[in-house]
Structure 1
Amino acid sequence: MSRVAVVGSGPAGLYTVAALLSSGEPVEIDVIDRLPTPYGLVRYGVAPDHAKMKAVTRVLAKPFAKGVRYLGNVEVGRDVTHEELLEQYHAVVYASGTEHDARVGIPGEDLDGVLGSSQFVRWYNGHPDAAERELVLDAREVAVIGAGNVALDVARVLSRTADEMRETDVPHRVLEVLDRSRVTDVHVLIRRTPTDARFTPAELFQLSELADADVILHDGGAGVDDPETAEDRRVRLNLETFRTFADTPPAGRSRRIHLRFLVSPTEIVGDGRVEGIVVEHNERGADGRITGTGRTERIPVGAVITAVGFRGAPPADLPHDEHGIVPSVQGRVVRDGAPVPGVYVAGWLKRGPSGIIGTNKPDGAETAAAVVEDLAALAARPIRGDLLQLLDERAVRVVDWAAWLRLDGHEAELGGSAGRGRVKVRDLASMLKQCLGA
């Protein structure tokens, strides 16, 4: 029987696993994750107020009821090497995502008060990597740079009341910070026009449902094209929502989300800490190109959150470009133009940080098909040993599926005692204690 390791237990990895199981090929599968918890982006990337979206975990969990092993708290490069995986598995699929924020590339980006969106998202989602981060939301005005759903998530969380967030699974300390937040104005800075925005309609419309925040479309909606001219349904729905924002007068709520289109940040200013951000106003030419006008404006913000994309962090043994994306063909890793036998990628490491959770299903199926097609040849290569035995010899505290379920139940109990659905455990030591005991 062939043995396959899938590194990463987010949607990309688990959709790949599901496709391998449905192929009918006799295969043993181990899912390896550096965290004790599965689900990756669903648990730590999806905004906490998107509970319905998180329900996909019920689908993602199914392979573990079919004999697939979960090896959590195991990091490739720290606890086991890439070469050692290839010694023990016929095929290794990397689906570990992209973990680092892309930089905007403007002066002042390293000032105190500038934060990448992945850091902020990890903080409010209770990611153990952010367990020691102590944020204080003391700036009244915040700039968010970006034109995608992550930028909207950040703006929305900053603009929600603590009572709204109390219904989510954020850790207690996050809720306390949000309750003390002094933020009143969130400026979303978008280089292109409303037609070009990459928001999904549901995410955008959700801004209109906030309990105590007005949405202000700058320039009075003059840059919003007629929705009926849009051939793409997503663009048409977005333009309809933008028109609604433009036509709705502010209701005098305590917080405001400012959607500022056709502006490009040129500098973040401040003496040691953010005191403002300078933007250049853009225009769209007849050919659709966006160019600067030379007219600038300083917005007096006290914090900046960048949401301009992510860079991958593949194992050092894999080829990758400057964005951390691993070159591949149909999921097969390619080095110097030739496939690397037995090594595959899925998800953002394969295609870049794009798409929604569901995008990973066909992506994972494509990679799984490549693995299945190659297994006959790969199975001729002898493998040896068992990863669990190796990890035991190295005293690695492996979290299996049953151990994760203990933490899962504990978080549900924490939520119940606080009158909430679930409360996440945020630090690694406490997570391991619940999973494995003292």
Structure 2
Amino acid sequence: MAFAITQSCCSDASCVSVCPVNCIHPTPDEPDFGTTEMLYVDPRSCIDCGACADACPVDAIFPVESLTGPLAAYAEINRAHFTGPGTAPAGPGAEPDEERGEEPAAARVASAAERPDPGWSEPHFPASLTARAAGLRVAVVGTGPAASYTAMALLTTSAEVTMLDRLPTPGGLIRYGVAPDHQSTKAIADRFATVLRNPRLDLVLNVEVGTHLSHADLMAHHDAVVYAVGATSDRTLGVPGEDLPGSLAARTFVGWYNAQPEVPADVVDLGPASRGRAVVVGNGNVALDMARVLLGDARRGGDLARTDIADHALAALRGSHVTEVVLVARRGPAEAAYSLSELRPLLLREDLDVVVDAGPEIATAIAEAAPGSHAAALQGVPVGPVDYSVAPASGPGARRRLVLRFGSVVERVEGADRVEQVRLVPTPLPGTDPGSAADAKEPGVAASTVPTGLLLRSVGYRSEPVAGLPFDEVAHTVPHDRGRVVDPVTGAVVPATYVVGWIKRGPRGGIGTNRADAAETVAALVEDANAGRLDHRGPAGGRVGRGSRRSFRRLVRARRPEAIGRREHLAIDRGERERGEAQGRPRVKLATLEDLLATARR
């Protein structure tokens, strides 16, 4: 029997590296790596050795025969990636069963040609530092996945690393972005924890580069600086009423339930003011995360109560009046941005009704969708117009409902002192030629006024300029060449300055995508160090004017007396885990800066 990769896949490709038969795809060398929802095991090649399961940092890989419940579908999901939806793997000489939907051999070959398998790629070995670059010291700004993979790659050399974060806790997206009911995804933090304990790494927390320290300060004490600062702003809808109280960006709501200390505990109102309904604009995985949390089981002993969700969020959800979430998508079901692996568990929940608010056009598109597609996943879900004038169910035992509305945009947000209702209007759906406006189709859904007191905007993130670095105001990224920061006017490389993660490539790709991204940036940095291209190094390789680790620590203490380091971080981590153990939870997060710093210094 083969192994299969399941929902919590982080796509960092650790499994690819250890597979002895090259049966896991896409690999980092293939063009669709970083664009697929997850990685997949080809059951026709898998030899059932289990090396991939041992290497997986998030425990997402299991033998097919052990998959039960919602995970059972992943045997078919893995197989269909290689043989096509609705087909079955055929042995040598087997004839296709066309009544069952199996493709003829010619069709399977054509499908494979669209995703060519390059076979074994050239082996990659970690870059190493020459004697000329001995003693290299690098500052990494950020402690999220991109920063952590960067530090991990640097520490495979003899380099010393300083990691800096403006918050008192490391982790970035893993701690403050991953939904609390995705604990398996958060397991990758354990791998990064070993990086933070490395004696060649200094951890500097509660310090903001650009406020307490400048780029010049970092360069005065390091040979190079890598910025892994992510995408720190939200895109807006650009409609009237968007700024009313009760209208929140996804970053705020996600930070609220993940105990991000800069998000107030009372920023979300799930009481009577919500009118029993939340409207989520967007239909990517973050939008589904928010809907799932709002409609989750927060009761004592319930699923959410066993996670590391913020205590204030758990209390609010236990008293929540919200029983209905409307997910608004600009495009149709075939173009949905969410992963099927995130949608399927919602469709399987017995305590949740899922409906599609749509006219006959979208109903037909769902009914005629090809097996395995996003639209086909909704076959069997009730489709029809929803009357939003009818209040959502309320009271003890009220059933909860998720409404998927496609082909719509927000025209305006209405209310006197806060959000009271949202006006949705139809927008054309892509036709057979997505680039042609003339080929677009009407979605067949009527304009609607949706009573609600809670609007959550999940329409994307964007990066902000980094002080002292060039910035592309259109792409919202720092111009670079394989991670080296480049001046877009002159084309010259900015000395000893690098980027990684979303500030480098834009807000796309999951946690594991950063592994290959970091490898590229670190390879460029090591190449520059070995060639003597980094500042602070004279022609013979000797350092020129670079401050020591000790002098940098003194500078940090002088500029930011409230700065904390590894010892204090471990005190916070230990305190949260101890509180969690007492409640049967992974941890109980400290949700304010005051509590975090007080625990750090105990």
Please report the TM-score for the alignment, with normalisation by the length of structure 1.
Answer: 0.91
What secondary structure sits across from 2:262 in the alignment?
A: helix
Matched, 1:98 2:249: no
Q: Is the 8 A contact 1:403 1:435 kept in 2?
A: yes
Contact persistence 1:160–1:212 (CA under 8 A):
no
Structure 1 residue 225, shift from structure 2 partner = 6.4
Rounded Cα–Cα distance in structure 2 between residues aligned with 1:312 and 1:228 = 37
Measured after TM superposition, the shift of residue 103 of structure 1 is: 0.4
Structure 1: state its 5+ residue gaps. 230-235
Task: Please name the residue that 2:325 is paired with.
Answer: 186
Structure 1 residue 295 displacement after superposition? 5.4
Output the CA distance in 1 between the equivalents of 2:190 and 2:172.
14
Q: How far off is 1:227 after superposition?
A: 4.9
Q: Work out the CA distance in 2 between the residues paired with 1:350 and 1:400.
A: 27
Alignment coverage as a number of residue pairs: 428
State which of 327, 340, 344 in structure 1 corresponds to 2:479: 327
Which one of 374, 377, 393 corresponds to residue 533 of structure 2? 377
Greater share of strand: 1
Quote the residue 2:91 is aligned against. Answer: none
Aligned residue number for residue 147 of structure 1? 283
Q: In structure 2, give the amino acid aligned to 1:342.
A: A
Superposed, 1:55-66 pairs within 5 Å as 55-66=187-198
- Deviation readout 1:51-105 (Å, 9 max, x if unpaired): 0000001112222333222111111022211111111111100101112111011
Contact preservation (8 Å) 1:345, 1:367: yes
| Structure 2 counterparts to residues 37-436 of structure 1, below 5 A | 37-67=169-199, 68-131=201-264, 133-138=266-271, 139=274, 140-163=276-299, 164-210=303-349, 212-219=351-358, 221-224=363-366, 226-228=368-370, 236=372, 238-246=374-382, 254-284=399-429, 285-288=431-434, 290=440, 296-322=447-473, 324-335=476-487, 336=489, 337-375=491-529, 376-378=532-534, 380=537, 382=544, 383-385=546-548, 386-436=551-601
Distance in 1, Cα, partners of 2:172 & 2:250: 16
Q: Which sits farther off after the overlay, 308-317 or 182-191?
A: 308-317
Question: Residue 160 of structure 1 contacts residue 210 of structure 1 at CA under 8 Å; is this kept in 2?
Answer: no
Question: More deviation in 188-197 or 289-298?
Answer: 289-298
Paired residues of 2:246 and 2:268 also in contact (CA < 8 A): no
With over 3 angstroms needed to count, the CA separation of the structure-2 counterparts of 1:409 and 1:203, relative to structure 1, is same
* 1:69 match: secondary structure: strand
Q: State whether residues 90 and 342 of structure 1, in contact with CA within 8 Å, keep that contact through their aligned partners in structure 2.
A: yes
In the alignment, is the contact (CA less than 8 A) between 2:367 and 2:376 conserved in 1? no
Structure 1 residue 166: Cα displacement:
0.6
The answer on whether the counterparts of 2:283 and 2:336 sit within 8 Å (CA) in structure 1 is: yes
Sequence identity (%) = 39
Deviations 1:149-190 (A, max 9, x none): 111111111111212311111222211111111002111000
Does the CA contact (< 8 Å) of 2:323 and 2:398 recur in 1?
no
SS in 1 for 2:317: helix
- The structure-2 alpha-carbon separation of the partners of 1:332 and 1:226, relative to structure 1 and needing over 3 Å to count, comes to farther
Distance in 2, matches of 1:154 and 1:435, equals: 30
Q: 1 CA distance for matches of 2:561 and 2:576?
A: 24
**Alpha-carbon distance in structure 2 between the residues aligned to 1:395 and 1:11:** 25
CA distance in 2, matches of 1:291, 1:30: 54
Shift of 1:211: 5.9
Amino acid in the other structure paired with 2:290: V
Please state how far the C-alpha of 1:123 moved relative to its aligned partner.
0.5
Distance in 1 separating the partners of 2:154 and 2:450: 52
SS of 1:245's equivalent in the other structure is coil
Q: Distance in 2 between the 1:125 and 1:330 partners?
A: 33
Conservation of the 8 A alpha-carbon contact between 1:82 and 1:315: no
The answer for the alignment partner of 1:233 in structure 2 is none
User: 8 Å contact 2:231–2:463 — kept in the other structure?
Assistant: yes
Q: How far apart are the structure 1 equivalents of 2:335 and 2:178?
A: 23
- Could you tell me which residue of structure 1 aligns to residue 130 of structure 2? none
Deviations along 1:200-245, one digit per CA (max 9) or x if unpaired, are 122111212446321112237433264536xxxxxx3533422243
